[in-house]
Amino acid sequence: MVMSKNVFCYGEFLETPKCVKSSFDILQSFVDFRNSKVFLLTTANILKIQTFSKDPTSLQPLNEIHEVSQFAVHDDNLYFLVNGELMYGNLKHNYSDVLVKGYKLTGLKLHRGSFENFKYICEGLNCPFFCQLSLTAEVTCGCPSPLELVANKCICPKDHTNCAFPRCAGFKCNNSKCLRNNVRCNGVDDCGDNSDEMNCTKICSSDTHLCGNKCFDRDAVCGPVDIKVIDPMAGSKKMRTFYVLMIIWTVFVLLGYPGYLTLKWLCIKHGPRFLRLNSNISGFDMGYHELLEAENEPPHMMLAD
């Protein structure tokens, strides 16, 4: 519902709104198509309830309630504030009563609750446009005008077979059906005229669909933006590679270090070595063999204490 001073506009979802000019300025408005009623709250705080036969362009007065600051309508139930008190009105039996006394309320908002399985029922219906909860708490598919709902599918009238094309954001079938863009080239005739299986460069399984020459799960809808599959295990794969490298390096160190010590001992034991003594005689060197002989010969004298 859209308002602008003395004008209120109405329209179905995805439909061009129609506007009606009123003879008085409007604070709030509501159109009840099911009961063919229009509720208009004027700047003089008068709630005018009017009826119509075909559309709200031709209104007939029904009732008036004075000193109303705000209101809300749900089915045949009218809730409104009069001098800060919350009032209730039954539109079907035409009576009203005070709901909350002793308080000066300044605002009123009505929130309609939904039942828990609404989301899952909507997903199961696979609606081409939108899913809605009817006034009788029944979950159904919704169709923008002039499409008609037939077996939870939005079908164009026979005299306007391509009416869905301007509003279709999914896959446009040749028979005017508008489906979600997850039906291409999966071996299933989703359109009914096989147009979703034509000109296929690749055939996917029945639980997938073709998008960008790749097969994706039915939950992924194909659009103008390329689908990118993010691997949730990518980070763990990198960490796993890091841990493997760390294990290899640790094993190498554990096995290689004793070998390094052994090699070092062999080099010291059997490699050529020289003992350079700091003395007053320059150029005094002992070779490896001389050093071994000195080490292996029994001592000729004992060092004195």
Q: Does residue 55 have a pLDDT over 80?
A: yes
Whether 194 contacts 187, CB under 8 Å: no
What average pLDDT does this structure show over 258-282? Answer: 55
Each residue's pLDDT tens digit, 91-144 = 988 888 998 888 888 889 887 666 667 777 887 887 877 888 766 667 888 887
Encoding tokens for residue 266? 């062999």
| 22 and 76 together in one domain | yes
- 18 occurs within a structural domain: yes
Within-domain flag for 304: no
Number of CB atoms found within 10 A of residue 187's CB? 11
Task: Give mean pLDDT, residues 146-168.
Answer: 79
What is d(CA 280, CA 293) in angstroms, rounded to the nearest whole number? Answer: 24
The pLDDT tens digits of the residues spanning 193-237 come to 999 999 999 999 988 999 888 898 888 888 764 444 444 455 566
11 lies in the same domain as 96: yes
Lowest average pLDDT, out of 36-50, 258-272, 274-288, goes to 274-288
Range(s) of the domain holding residue 183: 168-221
In a domain, 49, yes or no: yes
> Do 135 and 172 reside in the same domain of the chain?
no
Please check whether residues 151 and 177 belong to one and the same domain: no
Same domain membership, residue 90 and residue 25 = yes
Task: Please say whether the beta carbons of 197 and 185 come within 8 A.
Answer: yes
- pLDDT at residue 294, rounded to an integer: 44
Do 148 and 184 reside in the same domain of the chain? no
Instruction: Quote the pTM value.
Output: 0.48
Peptide bond just before 146 cis, omega within 30 deg: yes
* Listed residues 83, 100, 117: the one ending a domain: 100
Measured CA to CA, the distance from residue 167 to residue 178 in angstroms comes to 9
Q: CATH no. for residue 48?
A: 2.40.10.480
Tell me how far CA of residue 222 lies from CA of 163, 208, 209, in angstroms: 22, 11, 9
Mean pLDDT of 13-32: 85
Residues 211 and 176 in one domain: yes
| Structural domain total, the chain | 3
287 in a structural domain: no
The mean pLDDT value for 156-172 works out to 78
Residue 14 in any domain: the answer is: yes
Question: Over 90: is that where the pLDDT of 44 sits?
Answer: yes
Q: Are residues 84 and 33 in the same domain?
A: yes
- As a whole number, the mean pLDDT across the chain is 77
Do 93 and 71 fall into the same domain? yes
Identify whether 234 is part of a domain.
no
Report which of residues 117 and 172 the model is more confident about.
172
